């Protein structure tokens, strides 16, 4: 099955991999087209993941390569610390605030993706309260099942114990509440003390924790609670931003009016790495006000990278021109219907779907208890059927295809899942 370099010759250390068992089994991906990627042997796989929730416009978009090349011919990179700026970064920030319908907002660009955006937002939330004379507001609250990336703030805010317990405490003054209980958030704020909570971090749809769409009314209620207690509401839209829920931002779909939005992935569809923190007028004001002496002392070598910004702009153009967000809305019920049928399978306890092009198929607890390897065996059996998925939090299979996926391809994903479930349940 493996087609990479053998164990003894590879020096590439895969993220999140057991390198002792991966040896000789890695799959070398060489090319992509539409929703399909190809390995070094020329075998095609329908990518039900859009890589890691990001290749929204699909693979093989030469115009994005051309946008990068054109910018690189002018100037590929130049720093933006203190005085310097560049046209693609300026244009991108304006475009993002327009798309987010946050007209007075500002944008802080990050180079590495979502983790940088989350750490930027965490630091900015704390810096904001110091800047407005409330330095005691330092506590940040997040949710169980949350995934906010792997930098220090994101790791500390994460709600998946396996990913955090080896490292925390990294960032102090971080609290967690159950993912689905608005009252727990309010109680937690009251317990900590109104004047001590800086921000609440919230994925509108929990992603890596297992694809949990928000319970009815949940987001509206936590938004209200944050308003009531003057706590900044940070929408982590690293997955949901730029169309995945059928609106430019899930914050728009759910009417959230966030104080900060973190975003990355779909901003460039992964053609080059880039992220963005969208900062509401309220949070920007103390730093941008005429005569202010407040400086946000934070930034990365590649913040506002011109080539990455040019690619992001071309990617947003493409999403608009091809009306891909309308397409997500149209495909939402198609994906739901196809995946929901799997809920009848005895090895499946639940299918979560219905918010854009996002779904998860949860493996029944008794099946996992009887065979702890069942999840990984399913991932491999589905891959053998030519479809790529992966296991979330050890319990559920991820579905988050590119926006260009077709209805027959969605049917193929569901078919591959069903076949693999039958095979694995039968113990073959």
Ligand X SMILES: Cc1ncc(COP(=O)(O)O)c(C=O)c1O
Residues of this chain that bind ligand X (CB under 6 A): 52, 112-115, 118, 147-149, 154, 203, 207-208, 236, 238-239, 264
Nearest to 341 by CA among 417, 282, 255: 417
DSSP string, 2-17: --S--TTT-----TT-
Between CA 324 and CA 86 the distance in angstroms is 28
User: Quick one: 49 or 421, whose CB is closer to ligand X?
Assistant: 49
Which one, 381 or 397, has the nearer CB to ligand X?
397
**Residues 6+ positions from 135 with CB-CB distance below 8 Å:** 129
**Measured from the CB of residue 151, what is the shortest distance to ligand X in angstroms?**
7
3-class DSSP state for residue 106? strand
Diameter over CA atoms, the chain: 71
- CB of residue 211 vs ligand X: minimum separation in angstroms? 11
Q: Are the C-beta atoms of residues 241 and 29 closer than 8 Å to each other?
A: no
Shortest distance, position 108 Cβ to ligand X, whole Å: 15
Q: Which of 114, 258 has the CB closer to ligand X?
A: 114
* Least spacing, CB of residue 261 vs ligand X, in Å: 11
| Residue closer to ligand X (CB basis): 186 or 236 | 236
Beta bridge partners of 391: 397
**Smallest distance, Å, CB 327 to ligand X?**
22
Kindly list the distances between the CA atom of residue 47 and the CA atoms of 177, 319, 348, in Å, as whole numbers in the listed order: 34, 19, 21
Q: Give kind and range of the element (H or E) at residue 330.
A: helix 324-340
Between residues 118 and 399, which has the closer beta carbon with respect to ligand X?
118
CB of 271 to ligand X, least distance (A): 14
Closest contact distance (angstroms) between CB of 12 and ligand X is: 18
Q: Report which secondary-structure segment, H or E, holds 281.
A: helix 281-288
Return the number of the residue (368 or 390) whose C-beta is nearest ligand X.
390
For 181-232, give the DSSP string.
Answer: -HHHHHHHHHHH-GGGEEEEEE-SSB-TTT-BPPPTTHHHHHHHHHHHTT-E
CA gap 92, 84 in Å, rounded: 15
CB of 87 to ligand X, least distance (A): 25
* Helical pair 281-288 and 114-131, crossing angle rounded to 10 deg: 60
- Chain-centre distance for alpha carbon 329: 19
The CB-nearest residue to ligand X is: 114
Q: Which is nearer to ligand X, 147 or 302 (CB)?
A: 147
Between 245 and 385, CB nearer to ligand X:
245
Give the shortest CB-208-to-ligand X separation in angstroms. Answer: 5
How many CB atoms are closer than 10 A to CB 43?
Answer: 12
Q: How far is the CB of 300 from ligand X (least distance, A)?
A: 12
Comparing CB distances to ligand X, the nearer of 119 and 362 is 119
In 3-state terms, what secondary structure has residue 85? coil
The residue among 240, 237, 243 whose CA lies nearest residue 260 is: 237
Separation of alpha carbons 352 and 397, rounded Å: 10
Residue whose CB is less far from ligand X, 49 or 412 = 49
């Amino acid at each position: 099955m493996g087609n990479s370099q053998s164990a003894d010759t590879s020096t590439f250390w895969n993220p999140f991999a057991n390198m002792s068992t991966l040896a000789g089994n890695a799959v070398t991906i060489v090319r992509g087209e539409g929703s399909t990627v190809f390995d070094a042997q020329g075998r095609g796989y329908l990518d039900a993941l859009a890589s890691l929730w990001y290749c929204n416009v699909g693979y093989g978009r030469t115009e994005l390569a051309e946008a990068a090349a054109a910018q690189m011919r002018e100037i590929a990179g130049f720093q933006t610390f203190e005085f310097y700026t560049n046209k693609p970064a300026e244009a991108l920030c304006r475009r993002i605030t327009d798309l987010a319908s946050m007209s007075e907002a500002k944008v802080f660009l990050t180079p590495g993706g979502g983790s940088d955006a989350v750490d930027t937002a965490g630091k900015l939330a704390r810096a904001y309260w110091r800047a407005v004379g409330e330095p005691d507001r330092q506590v940040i609250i997040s949710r169980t099942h949350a995934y906010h990336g792997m930098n220090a703030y994101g790791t500390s805010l994460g709600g998946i114990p396996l990913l955090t317990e080896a490292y925390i405490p990294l960032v102090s003054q971080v609290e967690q509440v159950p993912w689905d209980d608005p009252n727990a958030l309010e109680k937690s704020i009251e317990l900590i003390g109104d004047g001590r909570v800086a921000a609440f971090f919230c994925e509108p749809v929990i992603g890596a924790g297992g694809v949990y769409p928000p319970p009815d009314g949940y987001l509206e209620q936590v938004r209200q609670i944050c308003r009531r207690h003057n706590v900044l509401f940070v929408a982590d839209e690293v997955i949901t931003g730029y169309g995945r829920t059928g609106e430019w931002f899930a914050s728009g779909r759910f009417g959230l009016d966030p104080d900060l939005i973190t975003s990355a992935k779909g901003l460039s569809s992964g053609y080059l790495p880039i992220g963005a923190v969208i900062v509401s007028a309220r949070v920007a004001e103390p730093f941008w006000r005429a005569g202010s002496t407040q400086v946000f002392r934070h930034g990365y070598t590649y913040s506002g990278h011109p080539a990455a910004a040019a690619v992001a702009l071309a990617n947003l153009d493409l999403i608009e021109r091809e009306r891909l967000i309308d397409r997500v809305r149209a495909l939402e019920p198609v994906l739901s219907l196809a995946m929901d049928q799997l809920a009848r399978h005895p090895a499946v306890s639940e299918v979560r779907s219905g918010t854009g092009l996002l779904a998860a198929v949860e493996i029944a607890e008794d099946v996992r208890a009887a065979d702890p390897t069942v999840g990984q065996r399913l991932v491999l059996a589905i891959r053998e059927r030519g479809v790529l998925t992966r296991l979330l939090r050890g319990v559920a299979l991820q579905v988050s295809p590119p926006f260009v996926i077709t209805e027959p391809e969605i049917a193929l994903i569901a078919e591959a899942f069903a076949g693999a479930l039958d095979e694995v349940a039968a113990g073959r």
